[in-house]
Structure 1
Amino acid sequence: MPYEPPTHRVERSIRATTGAKIVAGVDEVGRGAWAGPVTVCAAVTGLRRPPAGLTDSKLLSPKRREELAVELETWVTAHALGHASPEEIDELGMTAALRLAACRALEALPERPDAVILDGKHDYLGAPWQVRTVIKGDQSCIAVAAASVIAKVYRDARMAELPEEFADFAFAANAGYPSPVHKAALAELGPTPYHRLSWAYLDALPRWRHLKKVRIVPEPTTPESGGQLGFDF
């Protein structure tokens, strides 16, 4: 399928129909990982032409992602990152943890956005944010694509910096996702302090099943933003 670069079409539509002046693109990384935080980037780009080759981070080679991230950090009008730790994911559930991380990112921007373009079909932000969801927004919307690249490169780098004592898990290569090396290390060594302990993978590990956490706190409708993270990002 031919490559179609992302555009400002959705952002222009939001500006025209709502009068919004500041529109942020939001994307997450780490939702499907077994270890590490979920990380959200909020990026504001204005209507300028983006760096060449910008698209969804998953479609880029690691080298090109890193190069683009460097360009984007000075090209975007503003950007900020928010995280929800493994402990917060276990306590709140993923939907509420995503909202928590996204609120932290959005509220860390220099100016509050008037509207948000959210990648995917589910609005996990809700009120008071004015949200437009876009399926494959990280491929079609410039601001979301920029957020996708920045979030991915930042989180991958932080996962690669985890202590050497956890080298058997190959976090530098898999970023906490369930690769064969990661699965083998889990079966042999058990979860690290960076693992999500409420997840189903522990059901298949008889030696470590007793460590599984059961979430008893219902997902809040308006989780607090800010605060201290259990994961040192």
Structure 2
Amino acid sequence: MPYEPPTHRVERSLRATTGAKVVAGVDEVGRGAWAGPVTVCAAVTGLRRPPEGLTDSKLLTPRRREQLARELGGWVTAHSLGHSSPEEIDAWGMTAALRTAAVRALEGLPMRPDAVILDGKHDYLGRPWRVRTVIKGDQSCVAVAAASVLAKVRRDAMMAELGESHADFAFADNAGYPSPVHRAALEEFGPTPYHRLSWAYMDGLRRWQHLKKIRTEPVEQIGLF
């Protein structure tokens, strides 16, 4: 199937129909991981032509993602990253943690967006934000594709850094997602402080099941997050 680069179609539509002058694309990474934060990027790109090869971060090699992230850093009008820690995910559930991370990203921008393009079909942001959800927005919308790449590269770097002190878990390779190496390390050593203790994978760790819990209050965020 031929590559179809993302466009500004949705951004232009929002400008025309709502009068929005500042449109932010929002995408997340880390939702399905066992360890690490969920990370959200909000990117404002304007209507300029994007760097060559921009698309959904999952369709790019790690090397190309990193190259594009460097290009995007100087190309986007503005971008900001927000994170929700494993403790917050355990305490609030993923939907609330996603919203918190997204709000942190949006509020970190130097300007308040008039409209937000959210990747996917579910609006986990809600009021007071003016949201347009777009299925596969990370492939079709320039601002969302930029957010996808910037979020993925930043979170991967964070997980690689955590992996330096937890080498058996191979976080630099799996970014906290399920993998045979990750599962074997969990069975032998148990979860690290960076694991989500309320998740179903804990049910398969007989030796460590006593650690499974849902915290009723979020604890202070780990410094990296």
TM-score, normalized by the shorter chain, greater than 0.5: yes
**Worse overlay, 154-163 or 139-148:** 154-163
Taking the aligned partners of 2:163 and 2:26, their CA distance within structure 1 comes to 29
RMSD value over aligned CA atoms? Answer: 1.3
- Pair 166,86 (structure 1): closer, same or farther in 2 beyond 3 Å: same
The answer for the alignment partner of 2:36 in structure 1 is: 36
Q: Contact 1:28–1:148 (CA<8 Å) still a contact in 2?
A: yes
- Pair 205,104 (structure 1): closer, same or farther in 2 beyond 3 Å: same
Taking the aligned partners of 2:52 and 2:23, their CA distance within structure 1 comes to 21
Taking the aligned partners of 2:164 and 2:152, their CA distance within structure 1 comes to 22
Taking the aligned partners of 1:164 and 1:145, their CA distance within structure 2 comes to 29
2:83 maps to 1:104: no
Taking the aligned partners of 1:91 and 1:3, their CA distance within structure 2 comes to 41
| Mapping for residues 37-56 of structure 1, pairs under 5 Å | 37-56=37-56
Measured after TM superposition, the shift of residue 230 of structure 1 is 2.9
Structure 1: gaps of 5 or more residues: 218-226
Q: Contact 2:163–2:170 (CA<8 Å) still a contact in 1?
A: no
| Mapping for residues 120-159 of structure 1, pairs under 5 Å | 120-159=120-159
What amino acid is the match of 2:14? I
Structure 2: gaps of 5 or more residues: none
| Mapping for residues 1-233 of structure 1, pairs under 5 Å | 1-162=1-162, 164-214=164-214, 216=216, 229-230=221-222, 232-233=224-225
Measured after TM superposition, the shift of residue 136 of structure 1 is 0.2
Report SS of the residue matched to 1:127.
Answer: coil
Structure 1 outlier segments of 4+, above 6 Å: none
Taking the aligned partners of 1:5 and 1:192, their CA distance within structure 2 comes to 40
Report SS of the residue matched to 1:198.
Answer: coil
CA deviations on 1:25-64 (whole Å, 9 max, x unpaired) are 0000000000000000000000000000000000000000
Q: Contact 1:86–1:231 (CA<8 Å) still a contact in 2?
A: no
Report SS of the residue matched to 2:165.
Answer: helix
Report SS of the residue matched to 2:83.
Answer: strand
What amino acid is the match of 1:129? W
Q: Contact 1:26–1:147 (CA<8 Å) still a contact in 2?
A: yes
Measured after TM superposition, the shift of residue 199 of structure 1 is 0.3
